[in-house]
A and B are shown apart, each in its own frame.
Chain A
Amino acid sequence: MILVLSELYNGKLKKVAHETAAYAGKMGETVAIAFGNANAGELEKLGGYGITKVIHIADPKLNNLFSKAYTKIITQTADKIGADTIVLSHDSTGKAIAPRIAVKMGATLFPGVNGLPENNILRKAVFSGKAFADLEMTGGKTVITLTPNSYKAISDGKTAGVEVQNADIQDSDFDYTIVSVEEEGGGHVPLPEAEIVVSGGRGLKGPENWGMIEDLANVLGAATACSRPVADIGWRPHHEHVGQTGITIKPTLYVAIGISGAIQHLAGVNQSKVIVVINKDPEAPFFKAADYGIVGDAFDVVPKLTEAIKKIKA
Chain B
Amino acid sequence: MKLLVCISKAPDTTTKIAFTENNTKFNETGVQFIINPYDEWYALVRALELKESLGGTVTVINVGKSDSEQIIRKALALGADDAIRIDAEPKDAMQVASAISNYAKDKNFDIILTGKETIDYNGGIVGGMIAELLDLPYVALASKLDVDGSNLKIERELEGVKETVSLATPCVISAQKGMAEARIPNMRGILASKSKPVTVIEDNTQPKVIVKNFALPPAKTGCKMIDPENVEQLADLLHNEAKVI
Give the B-binding residues of A (Cβ under 8 A): 14, 64-65, 67-68, 71, 90-93, 95-100, 102-104, 108-112, 121, 123-136, 138, 175-185, 187-193, 196, 220, 231, 238-239, 241, 244-246, 248, 252-253, 263-264, 267, 270-271, 273-277, 287-297, 300-301, 304-305, 308-309, 311-313
Contacts and interface: CB of A to CB of B under 8 A. Distances in A.
A109 B13 CA distance: 26
Contact of A178 (B119, B138, B165): B165
Contacts of B132: 71, 99-100, 103-104
A239 B237 CA distance: 31
B166 A109 contact: no
A91 B227 CA distance: 39
Contacts of B15: 127
Contacts of A276: 234, 238
Contact of B139 (A176, A191, A244): A176
Contacts of A267: 13
9 contacts: A90-B124, A102-B94, A111-B122, A111-B123, A133-B214, A135-B209, A136-B210, A176-B165, A177-B166
Interface stretch (B72-80, B153-161, B190-198): B153-161
A183 B163 CA distance: 9
B231 interface: yes
A277 B223 contact: yes
Nearest to A128: B119
A13 to B, nearest CB: 14
Contacts of B214: 126, 131-134
Contact of B93 (A109, A132, A241, A244): A109
Contacts of B153: 179
A127 B166 CA distance: 33
Interface of B: 11, 13-17, 19, 37-38, 41, 93-94, 97, 116, 119-129, 131-133, 137-141, 143, 153, 156-167, 171, 174, 177-178, 208-217, 220, 223-228, 231-232, 234-239, 242, 244-245
Contacts of B220: 275, 288-291
Given A245-B38, A297-B228, A309 B235 contact: yes
Contacts, number: 273
Contacts of B125: 95, 98-99, 102, 109, 111
Contact of A96 (B11, B138, B208, B209): B138
Contact of A179 (B124, B131, B164, B208): B164
B17 A134 contact: no
Nearest to B208: A108
Contacts of B161: 181-184
A296 B228 contact: yes
Contacts of A252: 244
Nearest to A138: B210
Nearest to A110: B209
A209 B149 CA distance: 42
A309 B231 CA distance: 10
A196 B245 CA distance: 9
Contacts of B120: 126-128
A203 B217 CA distance: 28
B217 A293 contact: no
A7 to B, nearest CB: 9
B201 to A, nearest CB: 21
A176 B210 CA distance: 35
A90 B141 CA distance: 13
Contacts of B13: 244-245, 263-264, 267
Contacts of A132: 214-217
Contact of B137 (A109, A131, A176, A181): A176
A278 to B, nearest CB: 9
Contact of A292 (B211, B216, B238): B238
B159 A91 contact: yes
Nearest to B227: A294
Nearest 10 pairs of A and B residues by beta carbon: A99-B128, A296-B228, A190-B159, A176-B167, A308-B235, A175-B137, A190-B160, A103-B132, A99-B125, A304-B231
